[in-house]
Structure 1
Amino acid sequence: MAPVVLPAEPVEPDPELDWGHADWAEARTRVRRAGRAYVWLNLVEQRLRSVTGAVLRPVYEPVHGAEGWVVAAMGPAGREGVQRAAAVRDVSRRKGYLLDPDDDDLLVFLTLPQLRELIVTHWPCFEPWLGGEGGRRELELLLDELETARHVVNRNRALTENVLERTEQAAQRLLSLLDSGARHAGVQRVPVDVLEEIVGDRYADVIGVHPDRVSLQRDLPAEDLFDGAARLDAMGIALNLLGQSFTGRRLARLAHEGCRLRLLFLNPASSAVRRRERELGLGRGELSRQIETNIMQVRRVRARLEREAHGGADGDGDGAGRVEIRVFDETPRCTAYLVDGHSPDGLAVVQPYLRRARGMESPVLLLRNRDAERGAEHGLFDVYREEFDGCWQDSRPVS
């Protein structure tokens, strides 16, 4: 071996070897995007693996055994890929990489394209579950959409924001398709982001932050937030997110469908309203009229439900007594909408009141109730639920 020749004098390092602020920022951006995409791709691969095993294992395993059924299912065209998967598994066994005994299965080592090939090749077995030829076309299109992100993440290349967004949407749709379109509890108003499940507890229930209400309603329209709710507790000055997004007819339908509404407005005749008008530069009585308009809308809904309960209009009266209206006189501190606040997977939309910003312009926190997972530990959801309960007790009913 030739000796290593060292330089006679020290060589100054190339300045390009040092990363500046912009380089670190770019690297973190790449990691953030690739990390989100990886989590979604991992979840999709696990779900595809589970579905494939559940459908094809009973068909092939009785004949070919626990080790041979994957080889038989792949057929001659996929034999080379299966051999590579088996070789990777053997290496993992020797080096102790299989930390979970359940992972010592050849199906675990198949790639996303191989799982796709299994489903397409055996489509008659999957068709009753995934919805005929339309389901097959949609599944293939969604997997095509995911393939770009899979290629980029596997090779640690840069992922654009646009591709990441399409990847997340395709992954969510594909997971819904594999679950036969079923809408599970807690996903009816807003989908559970897979990263929310992983890091949600770290941020005290906060699953989303929006700079203003316009941004919130673009990502989470009011109908998606409120529809299907069993209980809605709301407190604020005028409750415009509800009053301006839902017509009286839709509010009545919400009550008829079983939702109990407890709505807490700032008293339009209180001195706190006049102070708020001065803060926002509004004319005297302008904010009071807005509050009164929203209260009147809810009162008309309540009266309609009461008439139906007493046979004064068509209807079965199921919504009677489900709409309560109260007002408070204290200084308003926040707007809070608690949707199914006492259920394990409830949602809350919270906005603080800023001195010079209207409610539409204030930052928004989206919270998820995690009592069932957290045990005795409390997060922000509990703080605002207790705030509502205390304010409700000190308020006065509106006749």
Structure 2
Amino acid sequence: MGGQTQTQTMADQPILLRVLLHQHHWQTYSTFCREYDKAARRIDPSLEGKWPSRTQLHRWLSGDLKGLPYSDHCRVLEAMFPGKTAAQLFAPVTAEVPSPRQAPPPVTLNGGTQLADVTAVFSSRSAFAAAYPPSALFDNAKEISAAGLSLNLVCQSYPDHQLRRLLEGGTRIRCLFLDPHGAAIKAREAEERYTDSTLSTLTALNINVLNRLKTSLDPQSAERLEIAVYDETIRFNIVIVDRTTCVVQPYLPQARGVDSPTFVITDNTAAEGLFPVFDRIFTSLWERSRPV
């Protein structure tokens, strides 16, 4: 009976760690890892970079953990939240601690159904661009990962000098193009009814734009710009910024990319969210790609 009561309490009340992460706006996985490293540097630099995996963090925040994490994790968490012990952080919240707010709030349908971690939906790329101009997405980014066909959002819609500024400032940029000389891009051209190699030409042009930029950079900055190609049936255009914001477009039959619906997804460490799904898709494509 006692065990059942404890389980019900954990189900009804979030643990204190989850509440505090929301209060500090540290609930996204990338932000949590960054704050974890800051605390680790203060107490023991050897612990930097040893944050929990995304799955581990979800188990911590869901209250499914039996006992406490390893002692090193406990030390860092206690440094992140001075005055709180690890035991307190993994206990249900007390009455005087406010319930966490969901930030950002999930998109909700009329019937009240939540769309996981999807935070915006647009009917086309142009509608998305009006609400999320490239400058708003990229200007302060520390990491940009893009996979798709020609990657016009990065190569045509964002100025070269701004890309240079990012790379020279330490930003890592990975661009994965559909191979302009491969079979998959020819199949896509046939599907969109192009007869003059339009997509192949545009993609090759965009790759050349980035290569020209790369050759003009100092060696350290040039290493931060990675360009690769893949030759597989194209299903999505994916742009991930700082491992927090993901912009996704499906490729529809016989429809140009600019006419496809666009989804904005914000990582909230939810296991049922879509962010980890598209993060894995990008990673899988990148691992199978060929550097240019």
Query: With structure 1 as the length reference, what TM-score do the two structures score?
Result: 0.46
SS of alignment partner, residue 350 of structure 1 = strand
Matched, 1:302 2:240: no
Task: Name the counterpart of 1:358.
Answer: 256
State the alpha-carbon separation in 1 of the partners of residues 213 and 201 from structure 2. Answer: 19
**In structure 2, which of residues 96, 99, 104 is the aligned counterpart of residue 197 of structure 1?**
104
State the alpha-carbon separation in 2 of the partners of residues 199 and 348 from structure 1. Answer: 14
Task: Check the 8 A contact 1:248/1:300 in 2, yes or no.
Answer: no
How far off is 1:363 after superposition? 0.2
Deviations 1:255-305 (A, max 9, x none): 112210111000001111111111111123111000001101111111111
The residue type paired with residue 239 of structure 2 is Y
State the alpha-carbon separation in 2 of the partners of residues 267 and 247 from structure 1. Answer: 23
Higher relative contact order (CA 8 A, sep 6+): 2
Q: Superposed, which structure 2 residues align to 1:237-316 within 5 Å?
A: 237-305=149-217, 308-309=218-219
Cα 1:250/1:333, change in 2 over 3 Å: same
SS of alignment partner, residue 348 of structure 1 = strand
Please identify runs of 4+ aligned residues in structure 1 that moved more than 6 A: 100-103
**In structure 2, which of residues 251, 254, 279 is the aligned counterpart of residue 385 of structure 1?**
279
SS of alignment partner, residue 320 of structure 1 = helix
Task: Check the 8 A contact 1:196/1:207 in 2, yes or no.
Answer: no
Task: Check the 8 A contact 2:176/2:229 in 1, yes or no.
Answer: yes
Query: What is the root-mean-square deviation in Å for CA atoms of aligned residues?
Result: 2.1
State the alpha-carbon separation in 1 of the partners of residues 272 and 143 from structure 2. Answer: 21
Task: Name the counterpart of 1:396.
Answer: 290
Task: Check the 8 A contact 1:335/1:350 in 2, yes or no.
Answer: yes
Cα 1:324/1:101, change in 2 over 3 Å: closer
**In structure 2, which of residues 123, 131, 136 is the aligned counterpart of residue 219 of structure 1?**
131
**Structure of greater Rg:** 1
How far off is 1:357 after superposition? 1.3
Query: With structure 2 as the length reference, what TM-score do the two structures score?
Result: 0.62
Task: Name the counterpart of 1:335.
Answer: 237
How far off is 1:321 after superposition? 0.6
Cα 1:384/1:247, change in 2 over 3 Å: same
How far off is 1:196 after superposition? 5.4
State the alpha-carbon separation in 2 of the partners of residues 291 and 392 from structure 1. Answer: 17
SS of alignment partner, residue 119 of structure 2 = strand
Task: Check the 8 A contact 2:105/2:119 in 1, yes or no.
Answer: no
State the alpha-carbon separation in 2 of the partners of residues 102 and 327 from structure 1. Answer: 50
Task: Check the 8 A contact 2:106/2:117 in 1, yes or no.
Answer: no
State the alpha-carbon separation in 2 of the partners of residues 289 and 388 from structure 1. Answer: 24
SS of alignment partner, residue 279 of structure 2 = helix
Deviations 1:360-381 (A, max 9, x none): 110000000112xx3xx24111
State the alpha-carbon separation in 1 of the partners of residues 118 and 229 from structure 2. Answer: 28
Q: For structure 1, list consecutive stretches of 5 or more residues without a partner in the other structure.
A: 1-99, 104-193, 310-316
Between Structure 1 and Structure 2, how many residues are aligned?
191
Q: Percent identity?
A: 36
